Structure 1
Amino acid sequence: MSTPRRPDVTTVELVGGVEQRELTIRDPDPAWPVAFAEHERRIRDALGPHAVQVEHVGSTSVPGLAAKPIIDVLVTVRDITAEEDYLEPLLAAGYVLRVREPGHRLVRTPALDVHVHVVEVGAQAARDYLVFRDHLRADADDRALYERTKRDLLEREWADMNAYSDAKTDVITAIKARAEARAGTPSQ
């Protein structure tokens, strides 16, 4: 990993504040990988060599898993503090900044159907996204548990998507621990 150009942000900036959105779960859709491929191309065109890795993550990346119809994209960059290398080009490509926090930026489409998570190469968050995705692709029992959990949580009212996401933490942590054990690496 290279030396950062400047210190990273130290607080969480949620651009636009808390949003209450209708949350729905949809059955797996063959359009999800197609949408990812379109955004992968758009991101790579915008960032060039600054996009070290572009991966489809989140529930829409797992065949057979019902999901919120939001495509999650993981982008790794060499220096999260060098926003001029990636944030400005992503905004110019039509994405909108939603979150700026230590080690992570989130941009999304104006239609709110694609979330692009930007982290540094080697960040634990990047590894976590990929280990969790790959485990759900391979483990039918945990895939079913995760889907059941999401469906059960949608029976409740949520102030915003972050509260819904936070409510999944215990199940995600347990699944991630099994994924790490399967991969032979310690969970963090």
Structure 2
Amino acid sequence: MIGLKRHTVRIVDYDPAWAARYREEARAIEEAMGALAIDVQHVGSTAVPDLAAKPILDIAVAVDAPRIIPEVVRRLVAIGYIDRGDAGRNGGYLLVRESEPEVRVVHLHLVCRDDDQWRNYLAFRDLLRGDPEIRAGYARLKRELAARFPNDRRSYTAGKEAFIRSALIQALSKG
């Protein structure tokens, strides 16, 4: 099952169907964007086998330059994405897909391929995939935060920042 009401937090066990849903979504994104999409990657917790997650796919799309973002957004809105605007240094330009009003199923992050955020998305995902101890620690933290902040996604997200920052330092130091 995929989808989560806006602003709420619910952590569920890993679902192998998320990978198939990502592939479907990636095909639609690539078709809509054509050559403007340099790379499309499944990131976030739903991209990590055996990791509990919020049931929302995170997809990062690399683009060549900020100047093409308006055209990319136009194409993605045409296939059903909702433009949420620039998320700043913490995520690139954000679009979302909803299964019904206020129920998010995809967070799509447009990021310039040379931006540190692109590297960070991939490094954190790959670290979680490759290190069972870090993956288990992250799952515990997410469940604790979800129990504390079931209706406050901002606080939930803020509660993960130190862990993510520390993990990224570790991942990037490995090269």
- TM-score for both structures, normalised by structure 1: 0.82
Asked if the contact 1:51–1:77 (Cα under 8 Å) also holds between the matched residues in 2, the reply is: yes
- Separation in 1 of the partners of 2:59 and 2:149? 26
Aligned residue number for residue 159 of structure 2: 167
Measured against aligned partners, the alpha-carbon deviations of 1:61-94 in whole angstroms (never above 9, x if no partner) come to 0011010101000001112232333000000010
After superposing on structure 2, the runs of 4+ consecutive aligned residues of structure 1 that deviate more than 4 Å are none
Match in the other structure for 1:127 = 119
Which residue of the partner structure matches residue 174 of structure 2?
182
Counterpart AA for 2:97: T
Contact 2:9 2:151 in 1 (8 A): no
User: What is the aligned partner in structure 2 of residue 143 from structure 1?
Assistant: 135
Alpha-carbon deviation of 1:55? 0.2
1:26 and 2:18 matched:
no
Q: Are the structure 2 counterparts of residues 134 and 90 from structure 1 closer, same or farther at C-alpha, using a change threshold of 3 Å?
A: same
User: 2:109 pairs with 117, 127, 130, which one?
Assistant: 117
Range 141-150 or range 77-86, more displaced: 77-86
1:56 aligns with 2:48: no
Offset from partner CA, 1:102-137 (integer Å, 9 cap, x none): 462110112211110001111100000000000110
Equivalence map 1:50-129=2 (5 Å): 50-102=36-88, 104-111=92-99, 112-129=104-121
Distance 1:126 1:93, change over 3 A: same
For structure 1, list consecutive stretches of 5 or more residues without a partner in the other structure.
1-18, 184-188
Preserved contact between residue 8 and residue 151 of structure 2 (Cα < 8 Å): no
Give the CA deviation at 1:154. 1.0
Say which SS state the counterpart of residue 134 (structure 1) adopts: helix
Question: C-alpha deviations, 1:25-65, integer Å up to 9, x for none?
Answer: 11110110011001100100100000001000000000110
**Structure 2: runs of 5 or more not aligned:** none
Percent identity, aligned pairs only, is 37
Aligned-partner Cα distance in 1 for 2:40–2:98:
20
Task: State the distance in 2 between where 1:102 and 1:84 align.
Answer: 15
Rg larger in structure: 1
